[in-house]
Structure 1
Amino acid sequence: MKTNLLTIYFLLSAVMALGQQRHKDLPFTQDYAIKYEGNGDYKTMAFDRNGHVQVLSSDGLQRLSPGQLLVPGKIVEDNLYRFMKDKNIVDMLQVENQLVYLDKEVVFSNAWAGKLYMPHQITQPRGFLAVNKSEYLVFNAKQLNQIKDNKMLRSVQSPAEIVEVHAQGQQGFYILTTAGVLALNSTGNILKPVYNKTGLQSMAVHQGKLVLAHAEEGLIFLNNQFKQERVLSKLPSLKLNKVRSIDQQLWVGSKEGAFKVFANGKINYYASKRWLNQDEVIDLKKGPGSSVFVLNKGGLSQLVFEDMTLAKKADFYEKQVRARHIRNGFNANLFGMKNGDISTGFLADSDNDGLWTTMYLASQAFRYAVTKSPDALQNTRESLDAMERLYSINPVKGFPARTFERTGHRDQLGDPEHWQKAPAKDWDWKATTSSDEAIGHAFAFGVIAEVVDVPELKQQAIRLLDSMMTHIVENDMYLVDFDGKPTLWGKWNPAYVNGFSKNIGDRKLNSSNIIGMLQTAYHFTKKPMYKDKIMELFNKHGYLENLMRPMSEIGKADAQADDLSQLLSVYWNHSDDEMYFLGYWGLYRYALTNELKQQYKAAILDHYEAEKPEKDAVWNIMTAMTGTSDFGLADAVWYLQEYPLDLIQWTIKNSNRKDIELLDKNFRNQYTKTVLPPDELKISRHNSNRFNMDGGHDGAAENSAGDIWLLPYWMGKYLKVIE
């Protein structure tokens, strides 16, 4: 009995797939910010064992109104202890999980039945340090008094103005002054200079050593002999004002945000309104649990570090999408928000409603295939119905509208001149559908037809796919609009495609996309016209050669090239990457022959090599489909883990950072040697350049996680590279 060669191929592919790396979904640290808005002259903050957080301002003690991720709280007047208003409080600390205060005359607390009340005998005090709940070191500009159980242990004069005081374990204290660092042992009144330097802003005792924040040089690390061990100047900002050791981690505050510095040199940067109300940091302290408080000019941020799995993160994003990102079944963004307030936004149409929805739709199809979740199935139904209406709401057979919306004020719609009145009352539809819409449709319809074991949904997807592809084939490989003319970008005709020089990306892209689309249609309908068209494009028009062209040959148009070629090759188009990789699903999985499949695999791997630096989860996980062992799993997981829970389009600025290595100008617009983590970049979809350092919209919109995150996650689950 002969064994079918295709069967052998698939068996071998399955064996190869077993050799692929898989990510076991263990908990990782997910960070996010709970912000509390305020407008005061803030000094410091602390909290007690009851979770009561206080902020000290020039107006006295204040507290926090409730806040949560994406819903900021506020800093308000603290009236819990009404007679505290009579106190002129200078500083406060957490001591043995209780709040202790320093005012102009005494150290006192409301804890321990209010018994702590010790005069410090120092004029114009600036701050204090707790040795324990009954012993304190209080200082002003030049004097330090150590008191214990209402007794003065010693009083010491400093030769220079005191900035900060820190404990030296059990050995004594370090005093940071405007002239350098002094040491004060546990007994005696002698201040010993240990490091002389002006311009020091702050100091921390970190892992037994001193770390100093300098106004111009950065972080100065001293060894146990107080000798300069190293200077770290490659920091996001050199405008440093605080350095603290919190839970064995080194934290730095600056006028341009806060950052955590790891022993290996890695830096986590927290700036912009994603993390802080304003970037100028006033103070840093440990918060409840594993959180960190960052007091800033605009209020207080609690940076929360929570153990989370990708599965738990997916659940968070699933709820985000359904709560405020579904418009008539479409996967939509929230627009018109005021300063990041999600309650002020509205769902708006987009040129690419169809594309963004196909990516979310595919994610839910994969989710259903993996989990059999009724919720995922219902999400698939609703979005597939929205996609179907794109075809039925306009009068052109087989032509998908870009989107549709209720009839309203045209000036409130994006691109109003391309909106058309629908035959259905009270509805308009948008014309000029482009190639990126079409490839998204073919991708999602193919995914549903393959992975969703619900006959009516399979047939619905196949019917829509067949309708669009029939339209394209019968219209000479064009998307033909209501006016009888091809749309601007819906063109796969050989005269158009091969009209570009071989180094112009659209020649390769359009060839790759249309072959994948035709293969998908043929695979599920078995209509000969689709296969015949593929062979015609291969044999007569060189589309196989086009799509196999190495990425290294794609570049700028020659000086004598036409205007369109010049326009399309000013720089690398990341929307093209999105179209390529969505198209690879149909190109590879539904290849007509095993020989073609191997050629397609080579093209995909060649493209992946060019995209490696971006660490984009969609590119990497789609590449895993080929069975290759090298598809950047670690980078894909990094992307999924590092993407922020806050998807608001805050304005982000990284171009002023001193810790990133810039590259010379290049065709791909890769500005930095290493791509920054997603939570340090502006929120963007997969069609954007992930090397853009700046951007955003001041909290005016929120992206949906449906296309950005849920697609790569659930595709990774379906392909079994994420366990």
Structure 2
Amino acid sequence: MNTKKIFTLIYIIGFLFGQESVNIPFFEQEKRAFFLEGKNVYSVATTKTKDIYVGTDSGLFIQLESEKDWNKLSLNNQPVVLLSAKGTKIVAITGELNDNILTNGMAYFIKNKVVSQAISLPKNMHLNVLETDLVFSNQLYLGGKTDLFVGKIKKNDKHLALKSMKTPSGNIRQITVQSEKNVFVATAQGLYKKTRTGWNTIQPHDDTRSWALADCRSVAMDSKNRLWFASPQGVGVLDKKEWILYEGKDGLPYNDFTKMAAGQNGDVWFGTTKGAIHFDGKTWEYRQGKRWLPDDHVNDIVVAKDGSVWIATSKGLSHIYKEKMTLAEKAKFYEDEIDKYHRRTPYEYVLDVNLPKAG
């Protein structure tokens, strides 16, 4: 056998048996999608089955995980201002709205787009929709103008019996329930914890800082069972009986908070009057402007089971999520974004930008 035939045989054997599998690397690219644009979205909630419920000025909108379309549930054609999920069930609060004050309220219990029960709220209950919250746990917790109310839900009830929890004065901004014996509230006067003996004031402090919270905006319990709060002074987390505090000098991008929501891995999302903030314990990420939100003022925020976040604003709903893609797909994504927002001429010059009014 001559040399040429030997090399040919080696080449064929190598081609047939020597191929190696190539692993194509994937990257996670953060994306967003807008829904219900132009609607005033007050509240958003997600169930454990990944169904999305959205409370707006024109009723309740639902997107089941198994469906792509949004379905409207009018609920007596009234605005839906508060939502809270427990398992696969949702509670929606509606009523007559005037100057952001809700009266003649109703609580609707919903599962899979079907109302199972409708209960009227106490006639004398007025809710400031800009400073209130709802938690559907073993009981129903509802933040009033000056107090936190709690009530158990009975199957045939038509009127919701709520009792005062006698919180310290101040509008209830946000509620988090660890158990019936451990309830936390963020109020206009501070941060409080309900115990067997009453309400305790929480005053966060670390080695160099001590904050008397006179204006607490948000409170949440994360997936690692750590307590978080947000106030104009900054944010903090209680980790193993020690506080870790963050303010501007620690990387906090903005501090005019509205609501917060816990993620799936100890991370948290903060809603503010000027965008949304994500913090994983190391990195601060600021999501502001039309690229991320229909409007900068965040009314409500919730994290779904898949780690994506849904953000309610007065001009629509934003869904921020991560999508796996190859390096080539990621390059195309950025090229498409450039073409969409920075279109160029065939000679690669930036096209003129025309405004409705000069200047």
SS of the residue corresponding to residue 160 of structure 1 reads: coil
One-letter amino acid matched to 2:108: F
Aligned pair partner of 1:81 in 67, 73, 81: 73
- 1:272 matched to 2:289? The reply is yes
- 1:192 matched to 2:200? The reply is yes
Equivalent residue, structure 1, for 2:6: none
One-letter amino acid matched to 2:73: Y
- 1:259 matched to 2:268? The reply is no
- 1:308 matched to 2:325? The reply is yes
One-letter amino acid matched to 2:27: F
Equivalent residue, structure 1, for 2:166: 157
**Residue deviations 1:280-335 (CA, integer Å, cap 9, x gap):** 322211246331112234321100112333255357679x59xxxxxxxxxxx74x
SS of the residue corresponding to residue 330 of structure 2 reads: helix
Equivalent residue, structure 1, for 2:109: 109
The structure-2 alpha-carbon separation of the partners of 1:299 and 1:262, relative to structure 1 and needing over 3 Å to count, comes to same
Structure with the largest fraction of strand: 2
Separation in 1 of the partners of 2:188 and 2:149? 19
Separation in 2 of the partners of 1:42 and 1:190? 35
Aligned pair partner of 2:246 in 231, 238, 248: 231
Query: Shift of residue 140 of structure 1?
Result: 0.7
Equivalent residue, structure 2, for 1:29: 28
Query: Shift of residue 224 of structure 1?
Result: 5.4
Separation in 1 of the partners of 2:200 and 2:43? 29
The structure-2 alpha-carbon separation of the partners of 1:143 and 1:307, relative to structure 1 and needing over 3 Å to count, comes to same
Q: In percent, how many aligned pairs have the same letter? A: 19
Matches within 5 A, 1:331-480: 334=339, 348-350=345-347
Query: Shift of residue 163 of structure 1?
Result: 1.7
Separation in 2 of the partners of 1:300 and 1:114? 23
CA contact (8 A) 2:84 2:91 kept: yes
One-letter amino acid matched to 1:260: H
One-letter amino acid matched to 1:181: L
Equivalent residue, structure 1, for 2:152: 148
- 1:98 matched to 2:116? The reply is no
Query: Shift of residue 43 of structure 1?
Result: 1.4
One-letter amino acid matched to 1:230: L
Larger Rg: 1
The structure-2 alpha-carbon separation of the partners of 1:28 and 1:180, relative to structure 1 and needing over 3 Å to count, comes to same
Q: Does 1 or 2 have the higher relative contact order (CA < 8 Å, sep 6+)?
A: 2
SS of the residue corresponding to residue 115 of structure 1 reads: strand
CA contact (8 A) 2:82 2:93 kept: yes
TM-score scaled by structure 1? Answer: 0.36
The structure-2 alpha-carbon separation of the partners of 1:211 and 1:51, relative to structure 1 and needing over 3 Å to count, comes to closer
One-letter amino acid matched to 1:164: Q
Separation in 2 of the partners of 1:352 and 1:59? 45
Equivalent residue, structure 1, for 2:298: 281
Separation in 2 of the partners of 1:120 and 1:159? 22
One-letter amino acid matched to 1:237: Y
Equivalent residue, structure 2, for 1:131: 137
The structure-2 alpha-carbon separation of the partners of 1:297 and 1:110, relative to structure 1 and needing over 3 Å to count, comes to closer
SS of the residue corresponding to residue 313 of structure 1 reads: helix
Separation in 2 of the partners of 1:88 and 1:295? 14
Separation in 1 of the partners of 2:115 and 2:48? 16
Query: Shift of residue 31 of structure 1?
Result: 0.9
Long gaps (5+) in structure 2: 1-21, 95-103, 204-211
SS of the residue corresponding to residue 93 of structure 1 reads: strand
Query: Shift of residue 276 of structure 1?
Result: 1.7
Equivalent residue, structure 1, for 2:185: 175
Matches within 5 A, 1:565-584: none
CA contact (8 A) 1:163 1:201 kept: yes
The structure-2 alpha-carbon separation of the partners of 1:299 and 1:213, relative to structure 1 and needing over 3 Å to count, comes to same
Report the count of equivalent residues. Answer: 297
CA contact (8 A) 2:88 2:111 kept: no
One-letter amino acid matched to 2:274: E
Separation in 2 of the partners of 1:92 and 1:139? 12
One-letter amino acid matched to 1:166: T
CA contact (8 A) 1:287 1:302 kept: no
TM-score scaled by structure 2? Answer: 0.68
One-letter amino acid matched to 2:137: V
Query: Shift of residue 123 of structure 1?
Result: 1.1
Separation in 1 of the partners of 2:287 and 2:230? 18
CA contact (8 A) 1:202 1:243 kept: yes
The structure-2 alpha-carbon separation of the partners of 1:257 and 1:148, relative to structure 1 and needing over 3 Å to count, comes to same
The structure-2 alpha-carbon separation of the partners of 1:192 and 1:106, relative to structure 1 and needing over 3 Å to count, comes to farther
One-letter amino acid matched to 2:165: V
**Residue deviations 1:404-450 (CA, integer Å, cap 9, x gap):** xxxxxxxxx99xxxxxxxxxxxxxxxxxxxxxxxxxxxxxxxxxxxx
Query: Shift of residue 350 of structure 1?
Result: 1.9
**Residue deviations 1:561-582 (CA, integer Å, cap 9, x gap):** xxxxxxxxxxxxxxxxxxxxxx
SS of the residue corresponding to residue 141 of structure 2 reads: strand
Separation in 2 of the partners of 1:288 and 1:61? 21
Separation in 2 of the partners of 1:219 and 1:25? 40
Query: Shift of residue 129 of structure 1?
Result: 0.7
Long gaps (5+) in structure 1: 1-22, 65-72, 322-332, 354-412, 415-696, 700-723
